[in-house]
Amino acid sequence: MSFTAPLVDSEELVKLIRDPTKQVGIDYVIVDVRDQDFIGGNIPGALNIPANQIVDSATELVQKYSKVPEIYFHCALSQVRGPKSARIYKEYLHLQGITTDQQVKVIRGGFEGWQQKYKDEKDLIENYDPELWANGW
């Protein structure tokens, strides 16, 4: 089985975050796979599971979140770590024989794109340190 998660625009996730009827962990999950580059800000409610730990964390992720309708992965740019982690997660579901309608997606532009768009919107960013982003990351 080979899987490539679709890239989705950040606006899709913004609608979920701002929808008062939706809850992170129940209606959607955000998995931020950055490691040392996690400092300086994150998407509200994101789980930080570094990409190099995704295989070891797959069992727990699947047990807790495979029934959640949508799961979004991202890294700094969502070019390597985010898509690879999404693929590992989806393949783990398959290997465990778990059938789910869950949509596994990757956020286009990663956190770099997210912070560029939403750094001034307090409901869309947590733990933001503008000093770390002043010269680009």
**Per the structure block, which two tokens stand in for 132?**
């770390």
Q: Is the pLDDT of residue 77 over 90?
A: yes
Residue 49 backbone dihedrals phi, psi, to 5 degrees: -125, 100
pTM for the structure as a whole? 0.94
Secondary structure (3-state) at 64:
helix
Cβ distance 33 to 126 under 8 Å? Answer: no
**Per the structure block, which two tokens stand in for 21?**
């009827």
**Per the structure block, which two tokens stand in for 95?**
């290997």
CATH number for domain 7-125, candidates 3.90.25.10, 3.40.250.10, 3.30.1360.80, 3.40.50.720: 3.40.250.10
**DSSP characters over 102-117:** PEEEEETTHHHHHHHH
Q: Is the pLDDT of residue 15 over 80?
A: yes
Among 34-43, 47-56, 100-109, name the one with the lowest average pLDDT. Answer: 34-43
pLDDT in tens, 83-120: 999 999 999 999 999 988 999 999 999 999 999 999 99
Give the HSE-up count for residue 83: Cα atoms under 13 Å, Cβ half-sphere.
13
Binned at pLDDT 50, 70 and 90, residue 36 comes out as confident
